[in-house]
Structure 1
Amino acid sequence: MLSSLTPKSLWTIFNQICQIPHPSHHEAMITKYIVDFAAHHKIECQLDKVGNILLRKNATQGKEHFPSIILQAHMDMVPQKNEDTIHDFLIDPIKPYIDGKWVKAQGTTLGADNGIGLASALAALTDESVEHGPLEVLITASEETGMIGAFGLQPNWFNSRFLINTDSEDEGEIFTGCAGGVDFKSTFAVTYAVIPDFHDTYLRLSLKGLKGGHSGCDIHLGRGNAIKLLIRFLTEYAQDIPFRLSDFRGGSLRNAIPREAFAEITLSQKDLPALQLLIKEFEEILQHEYKHVEPNINLSYTALEKNKVKRVMTTDHQQKILDWLNSAPNGVVRMSNEIAGVVETSLNLGIVEIKENQISAYFLIRSQVDSAKDAVVSSLISHSQLINANYEVSSGYSGWTPNLDSKLLKLAENNYQNIFNQQAKITVIHAGLECGLFTKHYPYLDMISIGPTIVSPHSPDEKVNIDTVEKYWQLLLSILKSADKLV
């Protein structure tokens, strides 16, 4: 039981959050939970027109003179599951369990991103052991699919000058900056033909077993992108087999590294033994190339019923699509020259799908430098134009510029040293935090981001380290208790 863990108030609330479906854009039930939670504890609660929630609580006795602080989290989670897991994220609860030093979920994302942060903010409002000045909790909507709540945040809504974002995922690190991002979609119309008469074998190729992960936090780890790897097989290894492509799909979120990809093909039975040998050869190659990061990588096929495959791509369009996806850029573009070990610019080919005779590829570009982000967009435009594909570029968002003179940063840094007798690492994160968007209407905000250690967010391998949750909680409470030093 999660409620047996420490801090009890945080884990109890997190367990309750896990029982409530709350993927992005389906947040009605979690909103009701938060509103009812506030009413039960007699906490002021407001909602805005885009679904954000603001909670307020007066200072505990003796701390009325402290400056007001905002604790900020987002309410939605990334819905990812293993292919063989039966789970409907709109109705089924997440099933968390304790595995040694970690909390995981059964076959799905756990939602520790950002459920632990949300639980900590609600616990800070209600745990009687927490000492604090005037406290505000800002809970934003649909962060994972474009920061909808942060974009729609209204001016003059909250009173605090200091904000603690709870959405980072490395305990012992205090984040003071983040990457900006922009979405890019490229779409190409597909023409089809009838299946050749001599093609009597229909297969689904499956590339599975990859770890996936967060397209920002994990992009530098060298994990495989299932879309790119399966396309590589079809383009490079299977090129001498006269197969025809009927369908292709991979990935499910533009901000998650694709763990699985699938291709439906037709071919002659006489070519099947050659294909089998190539599959075995390619799987061995991948297992060698990725042995340190993807130990469970698997390429296989299953037979399809003939009536399930109605048509195949024309040979011209098949070749264009394979070349287009095989040459699509993906991964780390540039490391930072300013902060050692931090990715400056990257992109993730997160989704490929075919709908209504169109194949679409979805990319998410991230960078600490806006001009570098624009350069990647320019390269994707050129890449699309090579096959006369249409493209769309979202408005995007800028990064959060570090403020190393931040009073809140210095307080958190000093408190971490005093509590744990070690220095916290001050850094930036190669992911999108909402802090950068808050400055549009609240340019005076002094902000940091802290959190526990969460591994493989945005994938079914997501897990949160139990000990670091307690350390994160201790640091958070120490900041609230000593906030008079911010004056």
Structure 2
Amino acid sequence: MEDLKDFGEPLEFWQYFYEITKIPRCSQHEEIIREYILKEAEKMGYRTEVDKIQNLVVRIPGKSDKEAEKLKVVLQSHMDMVCEKHDRTQHDFAKDSLKLKLLEIDNEKWLTAEGTTLGADNGVGIAYQLTIMKKIRDGSLDFGGIDLDLLFTVDEERGLSGASQMDKKLISGKYLLNLDSEEDDRFTIGCAGGRVFIGNIKYEKELIRNVNLIAVKISVSGLMGGHSGSDINKNRGNALKILAEVIWKTNTEFDVFINSIEGGNLTNAITREAHAILFIEQSQKNELEAFLKGVIPNIKMLYEGTDSNLEISLDIMKDFIDKTAFSKDFQNRLVDLFHLMPNGPISLHPTSEGLVHTSLNFAVVHTLENLIEFKVSTRSLTQYDKDTLFEKLKTIFKISGLDINIEVVTLYPSWPPDFNSKLTEISKQVYKNLFDNEVTIQAIHAGLECAFFSYYYPDMEMISLGPDVLGGHSPDERLKIKSVAKIWKFLIALLQNLD
């Protein structure tokens, strides 16, 4: 790591961000980062409040004593991060600091973490807020009569539960600036709504008695993964869908017995790795290898240029001791279901070019005792299409003939865009004045906490912004160094121009 002073302004941002990368903060485990923020705020003499779901707000009063002259503004980020790592990476997210590394790509400096997510989503938002808090305290920043509420929410990545269950009295204001976007020349003013559900499929296994059967593992790896909303239209491979295709073809051509299927971790991440363990006659091993050699190039061709490191492998499991497999009827129905499961963009927005309207991420499969558990995330810009997709999925599950129990674990609204709001117009003008360029104003397919904020506070105008972050929700996540200063400059100018 270089000296933080070499990262550019503001230095306080980089000092805070570095400290944040030392703090464990996976979703639902935000207690240490919350305590860190609380101590910083209390050290500077600011009032704080924590609601029942454990969201935190730091209140920074403006300098005017007259209520009529005060303007209330909320700056918001989330405290948790996506905790993803490569299988080969030794890292305990519950206690280990991230191992930071500088990259230089096309003459641009980027900050990343070795083998894990960086947590720039949304560590950059936290660092911006803490820097503003510190600079107001030391007198180097002055926003006059603006009352600032610095809102830090919990559990955004798992299902937006901090925003959805927040105490409605915790904040108030005319404007809300969400610091959770990842392109410094695009500001977001609308987003998709979503539904995340878990499916449990009951099964019974049978004992493998044929001594001529051997256990093999078919694995899918090397994929980029990424955000299941913003990256869903980038033709990145989903390891579970690729595995399902390979297993379906294998199950059709050979007399195999499936022991287990595993893949995925988070519903908001495109699955990068998956595998299945199955039994096959030892005499057919070479035939299976030859068969897969014919199938694999056709699958890899689909991802040339977008997921070129895709690997599909077959390994002998010499020491595998679990000699059980699904019944043939269950196996056939399960493989059919997973092969038919929709995935990726379902429809595009009719008038906004390139914007995904409705999508599905087949995210997780675990083989548990007596249950196959799978998780699916669906998103749409409209409630109607979100419900219609869910209806279609339930129909597919019914047709499969499997005993499937569905539990919806997350349901969040869309954030309808207002392209003519006062905040949008001020933001466009400030950006133009600073950088002599037009900023892109957009709605996105990913879910943002602003969906709940706009629902709870319909009169509060909102916008989402942030520095350039690539590879979100994957171990390839990286933050562009110089982009941090650009968004800082804009953020301060925007606050100084609000009325």
Per the TM superposition, whether the score is higher than 0.5 is: yes
Distance (Å, rounded) in 2 between the aligned partners of 1:473 and 1:62: 28
**Which of residues 251, 269, 282 in structure 2 aligns to 1:256?**
269
Deviation, 1:464, is 1.5
The 8 Å contact of residues 286 and 297 in structure 1, kept in 2 or not, is answered as no
Partner of 1:131: 142
Which residue of 1 is the match for residue 393 of structure 2?
A: 380
Post-superposition offset of 1:270: 1.2
2:101 to 91, 97, 101: 97
Match of 1:20 in 2: 23
Partner of 1:23: helix, strand, or coil? Answer: coil
2:71 partner SS: coil
Aligned to 1:455: 470
Regions of 4+ moved over 4 Å: 60-66
Q: Which runs of 5 or more structure 2 residues have no equivalent in the other structure?
A: none
Aligned to 1:38: 41
Is residue 325 of structure 2 the alignment partner of residue 312 of structure 1? yes
Counterpart amino acid of 1:75? Answer: M
Amino acid at match of 2:309: N
Cα shift readout 1:201-242 (whole Å, capped 9, x = no counterpart): 212221100000000000010100000001100112453122
> Aligned ranges for residues 347-358 of structure 1 at < 5 Å?
347-358=360-371
C-alpha change, 1:139 and 1:199, in structure 2 (3 Å) is: farther
Q: Which residue of 2 aligns with 1:399?
A: 414
Q: Does 1:57 align with 2:57?
A: no
Partner AA of 2:418 in structure 1: N
Of 167, 187, 205, the match for 2:200: 187
Is 1:6 aligned to residue 8 of structure 2?
yes
Paired residue secondary structure (1:432):
coil
Query: Are residues 189 and 179 of structure 1, via their aligned partners in 2, closer, same or farther at CA, if it must alter by over 3 Å?
Result: same
Deviations 1:90-138 (A, max 9, x none): 1111122211221111101111111111111111111253332321100
Q: Which residue of 2 aligns with 1:142?
A: 155
Deviations 1:302-357 (A, max 9, x none): 33244532311111111111001000011101111132211111010110111121
Letter in 2 for 1:73: S
After TM superposition, the score normalised by the length of structure 1 is 0.96
Which amino acid is 2:284 matched to? D
Q: Which residue in 2 is equivalent to 1:282?
A: 295
SS for the counterpart of 1:239 is: helix
User: Which residue is 2:51 aligned to?
Assistant: 48
Superposition CA RMSD, Å: 1.8
1:254 is paired with a residue of what secondary structure? coil
Aligned match of 2:450: 435
- C-alpha distance in structure 1 between counterparts of 2:142 and 2:102, whole Å: 29
Which range moved further: 89-98 or 275-284? 275-284
Confirm or deny: 8 A CA contact 2:74 2:151 kept in the other structure: yes
Pick the aligned partner of 2:115 from 107, 110, 122.
107
Provide, for residues 251-280 of structure 1, a one-character-per-residue CA deviation record: whole Å limited to 9, x for no partner.
101111000001111112211111222333
Give the SS at the match of 1:308. coil
Distance, in Å, in 2 between the alignment partners of 1:340 and 1:131 is 41
- The answer to whether the 8 Å contact 1:237/1:282 transfers is no
> What is the percentage of aligned positions where both structures have the same residue?
33
Given that 1:13 and 1:123 are in contact with CA atoms closer than 8 Å, whether structure 2 keeps it comes out as yes
Question: Which deviates the most, 85-94 or 297-306?
Answer: 297-306
Deviation at 1:6, TM superposition (A): 2.1
Which digits, 9 at most, give the CA deviation of each residue in 1:159-185, with x for residues without a partner? 321100011112111111011011122
Cα drift, residue 198 of structure 1: 4.0
Please state how far the C-alpha of 1:83 moved relative to its aligned partner.
Answer: 0.7
Please say if 1:294 is aligned against 2:307: yes
- Helix, strand or coil at the partner of 1:88: coil
> In the aligned structure 2, how far is the partner of 1:361 from the partner of 1:157?
36
The reply on whether 1:122 has 2:135 as its aligned counterpart is no
Secondary structure, aligned partner of 1:349: strand
TM-score, normalization by structure 2: 0.93
Secondary structure at the counterpart of residue 79 of structure 1 = coil
Which ranges in structure 1 are unaligned for 5 or more consecutive residues?
A: none
User: Given the alignment of the two structures, is residue 416 of structure 1 paired with residue 418 of structure 2, yes or no?
Assistant: no
Match of 2:86 among 82, 89, 92: 82
Aligned equivalents of 1:90 and 1:184: distance in 2?
A: 26
Query: How far, CA to CA, are the matches of 2:424 and 2:114 in structure 1?
Result: 37
Taking a change above 3 Å as real, the CA distance of residues 272 and 283 of structure 1, as seen in their structure-2 partners, is same
**Mapped pair 1:164 → 2:177:** yes
| CA shift in 2, pair 1:453/1:187, >3 Å | same
SS in 2 for 1:346: strand
Letter in 1 for 2:312: L
The 1:249–1:407 alpha-carbon spacing in structure 2 relative to 1, beyond 3 Å, is: same
Structure 1 residue 474: deviation in Å? 1.2
**How far did 1:287 drift?**
2.5
Distance in structure 1 (CA, Å) of the matches to 2:116 and 2:320: 32
Question: Using the alignment, how far apart are the partners of 1:136 and 1:42 within structure 2?
Answer: 14
SS in 2 for 1:219: coil
In structure 2, distance between residues paired with 1:125 and 1:59: 12
**C-alpha deviation, 1:43, in angstroms:** 2.0
Q: What number of residue pairs does the alignment pair up?
A: 484
